[in-house]
Structure 1
Amino acid sequence: MKVLVPVKRVIDYNIKPRVKADGTGVETAGVKMSMNPFDEIAVEEAVRLKEKGVVTEIVAISIGEPKAQDTLRTAMAMGADRSILVETDAVTEPLAVAKVLKALVEKEKPDLVILGKQAIDDDMNATGQMLAGLLGWPQGTFASKVEITDGKAMVTREIDGGLQTVALTLPAIVTADLRLNEPRYASLPNIMKARKKPMEKITPAEVDVDMTPRLSIVSVAEPTGRKAGIKVDSAAELVAKLRNEAKVI
């Protein structure tokens, strides 16, 4: 059983993003980058399935600039067997990414594609769903538990009302939520081994996909700062401020 795991290079989640001076986007020059946290969870889940003997091969995929190979090396250090880097300097949008992944799925013929439910840079939450639509495959989104048995993936999903379990006939698409697992740290020996694992490099043109952006950013601005809170001496004063100043009652 083969699993594809798409991963994205984003600003590290511990870093506070800064808006560019001209308001055209978020500053990435000189900023620490790492694997999207939800994609880390997806890689971890694929590795755990392999450790259970369910999966035989894990292929990590990233679409972006050449520096994204660092993200793929991290995925291989975590346990992926090989990787594919689709090199492009274009802004990656969900539909174009889904089209590239569709082409790679048709080439690799995996039984399962596991990816993060969303990237923390754009919060689109659309690539997995679009890929499922393009392939005509069943999908289990926001997964908090995945079990593979008898050619089916039993996926427990987090929904507004609680949990929902769906049975997906393989091949299928699964998007990982936060509570699916706790990703492991890549050990130094595994990091060294990852350097020797194969990484294929291709371009979007080789899979006949146009990466030209369809969305345009009008402007980016930081949210307005919150006003400092105040203390009141009595409940009556609190009610008066809520009524007369905040106007919420």
Structure 2
Amino acid sequence: MKVLVPVKRVIDYNVKVRVKADGTGVDLANVKMSMNPFDEIAVEEAIRLKEAGKAEEVVAVSIGVKQAQETLRTALAMGADRAILIVAADDVHQDIEPLAVAKLLKAVIDEEQPGLVIGGKQAIDNDLNATGQMLAALTGWAQATNANTLDIDGDHAVVAREVDGGLQTIKVKMPAIVTTDLRLNEPRYASLPNIMKAKKKPLEEKTPEDYGVDVGPRLEVVKTAEPPERAAGEMVADVDTLVAKLKEKGVV
């Protein structure tokens, strides 16, 4: 079985995000970029399936700017076998929308014929949480979102997924789309020898035109703003004063 893993290049989760002065977006100048954490978990899970003998090949795919090569090399260093980069933008500030990403992934699926697609449930830069569901709709495949555990049982995938009330276990027929939650696994660190080996692994470059997909934006970002600063706390002398203050503010 071949496993396809979409990965996205985003601002590193340890970096404090700065909004541009004109409010048109996030400032990416001289900012450390890395693989989306949810996608990193997806890569790890695909590699574990291969190590367990349940998958033969892991293919990483990224859609965006040419610099996403670095993200794909990270996936290759972790253990993916090969990578495909679809260069769909020249400007690092241009975000390819979920529908366009899903259409491109559908085209890659038609070409690669994987048995399973494992991707992050959302990207931490836009939090849209839509690509996996859109891809399932375009392919007509079963989907299992917010995966907490994943196991392969013959031609089915058994997924425990996180829901409001706890965990829900479902069994879906493959081929299928699975999106990962944070507690699925702990991604490995790429060793230096594997980082060196990753430089020699195949990385194929494509464009949206190769797949006949229009990636033009359908959404317009009107404004980007930082969240308001949290108000300073207020010290009180005793519990009675605290309760009185809470009542005053309508909390209790």
* TM-score range normalised by the length of the shorter chain: over 0.9
Q: Which residue of 2 aligns with 1:128?
A: 132
Question: Residue type matched to 1:72 in 2?
Answer: L
Q: Structure 2 unaligned segments of length 5 or more: list them.
A: none
Q: Offset of 1:230 from its aligned partner?
A: 1.6
1:248 pairs, out of 243, 246, 251, with 251
Q: Over residues 188-207 of structure 1, what are the superposed CA-to-partner deviations in whole Å (9 max), with x where a residue is unaligned?
A: 00000000000110000110
The residue number in structure 2 matching 1:163 is 167
Are residues 1:24 and 2:24 paired?
yes
Distance 1:76 1:167 in 2: 29
Select the residue among 184, 188, 191 that pairs with 1:187: 191
Q: How does 1:72-111 map to 2 (within 5 A)?
A: 72-89=72-89, 90-111=94-115
Which is worse superposed, 87-96 or 39-48?
87-96
User: Mapping of 1:140-159 within 5 angstroms?
Assistant: 140-159=144-163
Please give the per-residue CA displacement for 1:123-142, whole angstroms capped at 9, x wherever unaligned: 00000000000000000100
Q: Aligned partners of 1:61, 1:164: CA distance in 2, in Å? A: 29
Distance in structure 2 (CA, Å) of the matches to 1:223 and 1:113: 35
1:187-226 to 2 correspondence within 5 Å?
187-226=191-230
Say what the alpha-carbon RMSD is for the aligned residues: 0.9
Match of 2:117 among 113, 116, 126: 113
Q: Specify the SS of the correspondent of 2:16.
A: coil
Runs of 4+ in 1 over 3 A off after TM superposition: none
Q: Distance in 1 between matches of 2:81 and 2:16?
A: 33
Could you tell me which amino acid in structure 2 is paired with residue 140 of structure 1? Answer: A
Partners in 2 of 1:146 and 1:110 — Cα distance? 17
Cα distance in structure 2, aligned partners of 1:197 and 1:21: 41
Please give the alpha-carbon distance, in whole angstroms, between the structure 1 residues aligned to 2:126 and 2:209.
24
Shift of 1:248: 2.9
> How many angstroms apart in 1 are the aligned matches of 2:230 and 2:173?
49
Q: 2:236 aligns with which of 228, 232, 235?
A: 232
Aligned-partner SS, 2:145: strand
What does residue 38 of structure 1 align with? 38
**Distance across 1 between alignment mates of 2:130 and 2:214:** 18
* Equivalent position of 1:173 in the other structure: 177
How many angstroms apart in 2 are the aligned matches of 1:91 and 1:12? 16
**Distance in 2 of aligned mates of 1:242 and 1:164:** 38
Q: For this pair of structures, how many residues does the alignment match?
A: 248
Aligned residue for 1:131, secondary structure, equals helix
Distance 1:196 1:234 in 2: 66
TM-score normalized with structure 2 length: 0.96
User: Sequence identity, in percent?
Assistant: 65
